[in-house]
Every structure is written in structure tokens, then in C-alpha cells.
Chain A
Amino acid sequence: MHRMAGPILTALALLGSGCATLQPPQPWEKGQLARPEMQFDPDPLGARIQQHIYASKEAATGGYGVGGGGCGCN
């Protein structure tokens, strides 16, 4: 479990440092961040469907938000 966290964070750090700069963007530089694929929730309906499918097959539920309500499948 914790053995996964280490490699992940390292990979993230490496990715971050691999970019041209690791410098928070100026307001005029936010164009790319506004792309849908750069959002964390670009597909609200797809996210609901996906989370429900995994919740019905796996013990883990949650982590994405609060107060989403449950279903009889878990």
C-alpha cells in the first residue's frame, strides 16, 4: 500500500520537473488549463456512471466527493 505511494509521488515530481518550468501560471497563461481534458471533472455524468460501476464491484467507495448518496449494491 504505502509502497505504491512512494513511486507515484516520485513519478509526479519527475513529470513536474520535466516540464519547461514548474512555475504557477500568469493569468494570460491559463489557456491550456481551461481545456476540458485538463479539468478534473470534465464529464460529470460519466464520472457518476463510472463510480457507481466500481462501487458495485469493489469494497472501496468514495474519495471523490461528499454526500453523493448510496445504492443497494455495496
Chain B
Amino acid sequence: MLPAVAMAQTAPDTGILQLKYLDYRDWQPGADRMSVRSPAFYVLKPLSDTLAVEGALVYDSMSGASPLYFNTLSGASGVGITEYRTAGDVKVTRYLDGAAVGVGAAVSSERDYLSRAFSLDARISTADRNRTYAFGFGGAADVINSVNGVAENERRNTLDFLVGVTQALSANAILQSNLTYSSGHGYYSDPYKPLDHRPDQRRIFAWLTRYNQHLPDTDATLRLSYRYLHDSFGSTSNALEVAWFQPLPDGWSAAPDVRYYTQSAAYFYFNPPFPSGSVPGQFYTADTRLSAFGAFTLGVAVAKSLPDAWSASVKFEFYRQRSDWRPGGGSPGIDPLSARWIEFGIAKAF
């Protein structure tokens, strides 16, 4: 586990290096769908008492039976499309007395998609450091160039805002609640899906509340998180996460977690059977990501602290999405989607 970064707004006194490897696979009944292998790297380095820099790099290689444009590939060796995504971000934070200001940049690049983003955030604490207010502002500029030529140099620009408060409730309990608002304009359609035509703006409002409770008797920690989100596509979602962190003897720990998520369909989502003609002027998608469904995740993370401030961890998660897992019902005619991922990680404080 990582060394503590306390609530007080001072620069961390130790750096952190995290290396992770993700093995992800998803599938639907009767067929394999996609697998992702992804090494990832994160580092946090204090540069002085008042300055710290952090950065992350993630490299995904995704392969599976649903290539972006081609139905299949003919070549002298092997079959299957592998798509790659490289994403990196960096942030510099300056610590002042009772406050911190950060500026960050992020890039995500794939064959047909490029996103560049920036962020500014400020945190201000009360004198007793038991309450911290957070303000954030960020933006992203995306360029989409689909392999099939449907989207050529399409753009999408977004601005995000965040306000939040974190409050230490007692020596053993802490609560955080954030409101975010995002407003974007540009290309939102999926160029690989026929007839897909989405509005050219999207506004998202989200309210995230998290609560951590330490239980001195068992030394365990209960972690709760609830996010309510509503967007102008008409989708409203709720995500509830509960995790239980249990320290075990000899530096081991186990943390099972469960997540329940529901979402309503976008107003321009149409159930199958999908129309074969175009509907001029009307927004339309058959993308099941915008349908109504419920989803459960069940997982556990096991970690062990090692000598010299090293630690190792393994995390398993199982995910299933079904339209009938949503109270009040979901979109009909959609196959359940399942996924599983394993994260191997090592970390070092230095």
C-alpha cells in the first residue's frame, strides 16, 4: 500500500512508484469479444517541501473479434485486429500554507482518436485542516478520424468544472462530496455504427459522495461511494460501491468490493430490431452502451507489504451487465455482457 498522503495540504514526503499490468477480457453469450493487455506506470515525486510532480502512462493493446472497420484480416500470419492506445498524464502541484494548487495535462492517442486535456485545481483547508474545499476546472480537445472515413477530422471540445468538500467527521471517519459539470460540443456519433447520429452537444452533471470509516476494533476500513449522474443525452445513472479493507497478519491485506450500477437509456436509443432505413434529422443510436441496464461488479484485492517499502497486489474483478438488472426494467433484446479483469501491481515508496 502507498504511504499516507494526509489531509493537510503539505507536499508528500515520500515519492511513490506504481507498476501495474492489466489483463482484461469481455464476452457475450456464444462469442469472445475483446481482450486488453495493458501495462501501466505511475510515479509521484516530491520536488521540494512545496512542490510535487506526478505522472502516469498507460499502454493498452486491445484485440478481439470485433475489429473497428474490417470484419476480418487476411495475412500471412495470424488473424485478428490489435488496436493500441497510449495515454499519459502529468500534474504539478504547489503547496502553500493550508492550500494547494495543481496544473495538469493529459493525452490519449489511438489510431483513430486523439484527446488532449488540461486541468487546474485548487484545494483550500480550514485552519484546523478538518475541512477542505476543492475547485477544479479543465478542458479537453478531441479529434476523431475514423478508419472507414466516415469521421474525417471531426472535433469535440469539452469544459469541466468541479466543486467539492472533504470533511473529517471524527478520528475514524471522513466524508467527501463533489459536484461536477461538464459541457461539450462537437462530434459524439460512433462512426463505425451505421446510421448512428447523436446530438452535437452533451452536458453532464454528476454528484459523487464518498465515505471512509475506520473500525478500530477490527482495524478494518469500510469504504462507500455513491455517484449520481445525469446527462443531456437523457441517461441517468446511479453507481454504488462498497469495499471492505481488512488488514491481515504479516503485512497482508484483503479488500473485497461490490459495485451496483444502473443507467437509463439515452433518449435517442432505439431497441432492436433496428431500422434499416435512415431517419433524416433524427438522432439515433443502436449502441448498447446507451441502453438501459443494471450491472454488478464483484471483486477482491489482495496485497502484501514487502521489505524496503515495496508492496505487491493482485486484484480480481468480475462484471456482468444485464438489462433486467435495472429496477423498473431495462432495454429489451440485449444480450448480457460479462467481463473479468486481473490487475497485478507492485509499488514502492522512495
Report 21 cross-chain contacts, Cβ distance below 8 Å, ordered by A residue. Answer: A1-B230, A15-B222, A16-B170, A34-B4, A36-B1, A37-B253, A38-B174, A38-B212, A45-B20, A49-B58, A52-B58, A57-B295, A58-B261, A62-B206, A66-B120, A66-B136, A67-B117, A67-B118, A69-B87, A72-B113, A72-B144
Please state if A57 and B339 are interface contacts (CB–CB under 8 Å).
yes
Bound together, the chains give a CA A32 to CA B213 distance in angstroms of 10
Contact of B42 among A4, A33, A36, A44 (CB under 8 A): A44
Q: Distance (Å) between the CB of A60 and the closest chain B CB?
A: 4
Please state if B106 and A44 are interface contacts (CB–CB under 8 Å).
no
Instruction: Work out how many contacts link A and B, with CB atoms closer than 8 A.
Output: 247
In this complex, the interface size class of chain B, counting residues with CB under 8 Å from chain A, is 35 or more
Q: Is the interface of A mostly helix, strand, loop or mixed?
A: loop
Please state if A62 and B169 are interface contacts (CB–CB under 8 Å).
no
Bound together, the chains give a CA A52 to CA B89 distance in angstroms of 14
Bound together, the chains give a CA A35 to CA B231 distance in angstroms of 35
Please state if B129 and A20 are interface contacts (CB–CB under 8 Å).
no
Q: Is the interface of B mostly helix, strand, loop or mixed?
A: strand
Please state if A1 and B204 are interface contacts (CB–CB under 8 Å).
no
Question: Considering residues B173, B209, B212, B236, which has the most beta carbons from chain A within 10 angstroms of its beta carbon?
Answer: B173
Bound together, the chains give a CA A36 to CA B172 distance in angstroms of 13
In this complex, the interface size class of chain A, counting residues with CB under 8 Å from chain B, is 35 or more
Contact of B41 among A45, A63, A69 (CB under 8 A): A45
With A8-B209, A33-B174, A65-B162 as known contacts, state yes or no: A60 contacts B226, CB within 8 Å.
Answer: no
User: Which residues of B lie under 8 Å from residue A30 when comparing CB positions?
Assistant: 6-8, 168, 171
Please state if B223 and A34 are interface contacts (CB–CB under 8 Å).
no
Quick one: CB contact mask for B130-151 with A, threshold 8 Å, 1 for yes? 1100001111101010000000
Please state if B213 and A19 are interface contacts (CB–CB under 8 Å).
yes
